[in-house]
Structure 1
């Protein structure tokens, strides 16, 4: 099959190689486009070569060999020794996606032709090999579900969503395997990972394209991305970004990804063969040896990046967040924990820090006094911003978290020091709050003081969540900046200040309500922080049982009045909603309630504004009170203000 029309002496002649099984499609789709180029004078002639019928060793090496082949045939062609002598070019085929990615071939046929025609000279190309087999795009090691080839990832959002759900479930069942990796410069990397992806260029693979920095040059190197989550949450994060994010941003939350750049890699899995896929084909081997053969091919493609050959490649090994040392033994061959367990170094650093925080120091005493005075001033001034400032200033969170660690690990010195520091802070706070209250002539409840007199089970929930956040922030130095937010959420000093105000006023109802709120925060934080440290691996369960039991007993004891108060609050809310929709019957004109407030228990005091279109007499008020008692099913004491509607 050929066509010869020489309208331009400068136009090239192409040898176009295709397979017999594609002959019909070639005649319908490719040949007309090539003939059109001849009519335009851009191509002098082209000669069709059947792959199965042509002696490839006799191909004219002075003319471009333009390949229209599927990936399988293309690989076999490139593995031939004679391929290094040809001027190769590639056209897009429906089944050569990997060829298109590896050699930067345009998706549309005419655009690919333009890439070839505009090329002023051939460009040298490296080839990547794995165990002496040619690699077109990528080699993937490990879990075949999580590390599946990019060509198998669905393009539709619905397809991605289904695979995301399936892979998320699969992550919970995945296990890390121990690997040893040796680079060309004999750098040894010992780690545990779920899988790895090796490519020549980051753009060659859908996943590595979003992890590795893009390069405008064709650098002669291998690139490996290692996926090593320490927890299920890390794994879910990886799966989400694999399907729905354009790029994996750098940062601490991507520490489960390691990156290696080298001229060769030798990979071994301790104690078992390696399961891997080479361009999507599943294989198995005892060891993988990946290497490069530089400048093997010469291709015609204007858009292919220029080669950047250096005397010596600058090898790069970035594995800061990957498991290493004793952590490999803890994670390898075992189910992943839900959250990242602390390693021995993190446990040691956190324990030393909390041990220092448990001691009574001059800065601690000064901050306790200042935060208490600031909170008391804010409470009397009914100023929320001032009270928030006192929350941030208060240092009580440190000894409470230290106490939780002491109870968890059953460390007597830590428990004693943290308890002593905590008691000193409580006594100091109450003392200065009482002194300030005695000197202050004001003695009236405002909204800020009243808000801390009726704790419910919801306040225990706040304490538990804050305790989890406090423990996590202390264990992870990169999120320690969140401790200020934890202090604001749990608000330890303002309830103590209100307790001191209650003592100064000799009002035990104020003292009891506020101090119950403080105790609720204290016990909730201790239990939640201890449980968080346990989940993060700071103590074995057998050692932590006693501390968790003691903390749970105190929390359960505190929960009883909190549940009663919560139930009372729910009942009051229901009654208030009922009264807001209530209308008195039996009068000659309608009467409704506005601005309803309920307080007291026996009898229930109902304060409200009666909205009517005429003045009400005593008999009318008696009837309204009677109807309200019938509606609520209990005796009430009515405090009413009359509002006339005209």
Structure 2
């Protein structure tokens, strides 16, 4: 029907008697105004409760002002195929308004109808029931909040917390999906959302790409987080990301576009909702009825129906195969469990990394020499280069996997490679030191002589990162950062320097730091592999116990050193604010350094506005002794301020 014909034909305006009072106040005045302006010849009111479908004139626009529930009943009637529909925005017709792109205000919606030519529109059906907006499958307590985002920050935070708790207590369920072109998808998911167009649902509109055409297909979005971390990532992006579809690669979201879908639930009853109405069924069949009605709306896109529509199935990151059995109907793990293929690939890689070969030995020699040169030159950049070059991380991660899975061959090869690497490093660092005439501690060497429990924390975090990077090929590029963080070769180089100097204090402190890194990485990496599903706990517990024993043993001197460092820092802070009232001039104590011994050795810079005498120094020393409560040896550097 042309725009001229729509003006000539009177409108048939359909509404419910329950809304008659509101209709008279909000809608009728606008319609009367259009008649007075000559925009439409007349309008005729039809009451839904008294409607006889035979009385509808298919040549005149049927303008509906109805709630979504009433609108579904009208649209599903077979007689509607020949009618010319138009819609006005009803307070309880949000789904109709969104589905048919109806303007939110009555005047604007009327203009859409007056200027419109007839267009065809498709319908989506679920088990022969018309769907205006969406069908959501799964736990309604999860799926309903997924489609609703509060506007206020307080509302978002409240729903974020609520939905996070619900997701952590939920589990995936097995689903079998068949598309129109017989593609079979077997997966486990927390829920699915079906829409005709992405904009029909608040959740899918931010996941599916918008289109300018009215394609005769249905769209399915599958929510399948493999872990609690995935679930929390989904909730965060759902409520706080402005462009959810572009906020990262989300493997827990699958997308299917097809003309029809059939969904099973492994013989179990499916919980689902059609436009918010809760229902149950053993099987769901979705299909499109193309060009189901004639629509008057100038802003509705042109229908793109044709016989050979393209089908799209993007479910690469969803659980499949054995992963379905591992995840379905069980509490979600905290982090993503590896599937059998991923475990096999990682295990093969670590077996190769556990072997000692020529490149490994060459890199050990070069990284050790580079670290030793950097230590003597007191050059941080050179030492960082040695950290990146060092290959020690590979056999350590392999050893952690061997201990976790109790694999003798992997344990032996990794241990052998590790011992060879340590021996080579100590040997070349010692030889280089013997050839080097320098024999003085600098800041880079001294920094590796007093490990504390903080260094164990660094090793544990690095071990987690190293294991995760080895298990996930897409983040393997982060291994260089892990190598820098844990710094395995520099402590070995300092240990070799200690041997070359015959200084066992230097050797002990640096080697303790290396052992701290070693046992921390092994324990953390083994625990990470366990959480990622690389080994059952019954097999892993022995290796974890052995690693824990070593970590506890190493922790004893580290805790003592940390306590000593804390006490020393407190003493430094106390001395730097110390005042000597007995002197006739103020003296500031700066750059305090404390060295343990008997007596305690304190080095400091004394800043005064006049030269200090021996008597002044005796007063200051006595004041410090009184403050700390024990004898000291004072090394003072005098400085004058003017």
TM-score scaled by structure 1? 0.96
Task: Give yes or no for the alignment of 1:454 onto 2:450.
Answer: yes
Counterpart in the other structure of 1:365: 361
Deviation string, structure 1 residues 473-506 (Cα, Å, up to 9, x no partner)? 1011111111111011001011111111111122
| 1:150 positional shift | 6.7
Counterpart in the other structure of 1:512: 508
Question: Is the alpha carbon distance of 1:612 and 1:151 closer, same or farther for their aligned partners in structure 2, counting shifts above 3 Å?
Answer: closer
| 1:152 positional shift | 4.9
Task: Give yes or no for the alignment of 1:156 onto 2:152.
Answer: yes
Aligned residue pair count: 639
Deviation string, structure 1 residues 298-349 (Cα, Å, up to 9, x no partner)? 1011111111122212212111111111111111111111111111111111
| 1:18 positional shift | 1.4
Distance of 2:225 and 2:316 partners within structure 1? 13
Question: 2:211 is matched with which residue: 193, 211, 215?
Answer: 215
| 1:283 positional shift | 0.6
Task: Give yes or no for the alignment of 1:54 onto 2:51.
Answer: yes
Counterpart in the other structure of 2:459: 463
Distance of 1:523 and 1:608 partners within structure 2? 37
Q: Matched residue of 1:565: which SS?
A: helix
Write the mapping of 1:135-174 to structure 2, written as runs, cut at 5 A: 135-148=131-144, 152-174=148-170
* Conservation of the 8 A alpha-carbon contact between 1:173 and 1:335: yes
| 1:252 positional shift | 7.5
Distance of 2:500 and 2:8 partners within structure 1? 101
Write the mapping of 1:126-525 to structure 2, written as runs, cut at 5 A: 126-148=122-144, 152-249=148-245, 253-525=249-521
Deviation string, structure 1 residues 504-556 (Cα, Å, up to 9, x no partner)? 12221111111111111011101110111111111111111211111111111
- Structure 1 vs Structure 2 CA RMSD: 1.8
* Conservation of the 8 A alpha-carbon contact between 1:8 and 1:41: no
Counterpart in the other structure of 2:604: 608
* Conservation of the 8 A alpha-carbon contact between 2:12 and 2:63: yes
Question: 1:111 is matched with which residue: 108, 113, 117?
Answer: 108
Task: Give yes or no for the alignment of 1:23 onto 2:7.
Answer: no
Q: Matched residue of 1:296: which SS?
A: strand
Counterpart in the other structure of 1:41: 38
Write the mapping of 1:628-643 to structure 2, written as runs, cut at 5 A: 628-643=624-639
* Conservation of the 8 A alpha-carbon contact between 2:6 and 2:114: no
Distance of 2:405 and 2:74 partners within structure 1? 65
* Conservation of the 8 A alpha-carbon contact between 1:149 and 1:280: no
Distance of 2:457 and 2:256 partners within structure 1? 45
* Conservation of the 8 A alpha-carbon contact between 1:15 and 1:46: yes
Question: 1:74 is matched with which residue: 71, 74, 92?
Answer: 71
Question: Is the alpha carbon distance of 1:483 and 1:584 closer, same or farther for their aligned partners in structure 2, counting shifts above 3 Å?
Answer: same
* Conservation of the 8 A alpha-carbon contact between 1:230 and 1:323: yes
Distance of 2:527 and 2:51 partners within structure 1? 73
| 1:139 positional shift | 0.5
Distance of 1:362 and 1:512 partners within structure 2? 30
* Conservation of the 8 A alpha-carbon contact between 1:149 and 1:279: no
Deviation string, structure 1 residues 239-279 (Cα, Å, up to 9, x no partner)? 12222223334697411111111111111111321110110
* Conservation of the 8 A alpha-carbon contact between 1:584 and 1:592: no
Q: Matched residue of 1:259: which SS?
A: strand
TM-score scaled by structure 2? 0.97
Counterpart in the other structure of 1:547: 543
Q: Matched residue of 1:311: which SS?
A: coil
| 1:465 positional shift | 0.3
* Conservation of the 8 A alpha-carbon contact between 2:387 and 2:489: yes
Q: Matched residue of 2:370: which SS?
A: helix
Distance of 1:101 and 1:393 partners within structure 2? 59
* Conservation of the 8 A alpha-carbon contact between 2:387 and 2:484: yes
Q: Matched residue of 2:50: which SS?
A: coil
* Conservation of the 8 A alpha-carbon contact between 2:370 and 2:382: yes
Question: Is the alpha carbon distance of 1:369 and 1:252 closer, same or farther for their aligned partners in structure 2, counting shifts above 3 Å?
Answer: farther
Question: 2:89 is matched with which residue: 92, 96, 112?
Answer: 92
Distance of 1:12 and 1:598 partners within structure 2? 99
* Conservation of the 8 A alpha-carbon contact between 2:135 and 2:193: yes
* Conservation of the 8 A alpha-carbon contact between 1:150 and 1:205: no
| 1:644 positional shift | 2.9
Question: Is the alpha carbon distance of 1:151 and 1:388 closer, same or farther for their aligned partners in structure 2, counting shifts above 3 Å?
Answer: closer
Larger deviation, residues 618-627 vs 274-283: 618-627
* Conservation of the 8 A alpha-carbon contact between 1:11 and 1:41: no
Q: Matched residue of 2:40: which SS?
A: coil
Distance of 1:150 and 1:629 partners within structure 2? 67
| Unpaired stretches in structure 1, ≥5 consecutive residues | 1-6
Deviation string, structure 1 residues 132-173 (Cα, Å, up to 9, x no partner)? 111111111101111117775433322222111011001111
Larger deviation, residues 588-597 vs 368-377: 588-597
| 1:425 positional shift | 0.8
* Conservation of the 8 A alpha-carbon contact between 1:8 and 1:44: no
Larger deviation, residues 357-366 vs 182-191: 182-191
* Conservation of the 8 A alpha-carbon contact between 2:241 and 2:247: no
| Unpaired stretches in structure 2, ≥5 consecutive residues | none
Larger deviation, residues 361-370 vs 155-164: 155-164
Deviation string, structure 1 residues 367-404 (Cα, Å, up to 9, x no partner)? 11111111111111111111111111110000000000
Larger deviation, residues 238-247 vs 378-387: 238-247
| 1:8 positional shift | 12
| 1:11 positional shift | 5.8
* Conservation of the 8 A alpha-carbon contact between 1:181 and 1:188: yes
* Conservation of the 8 A alpha-carbon contact between 1:496 and 1:518: yes
Task: Give yes or no for the alignment of 1:564 onto 2:560.
Answer: yes
Q: Matched residue of 2:27: which SS?
A: helix
Distance of 1:248 and 1:357 partners within structure 2? 39
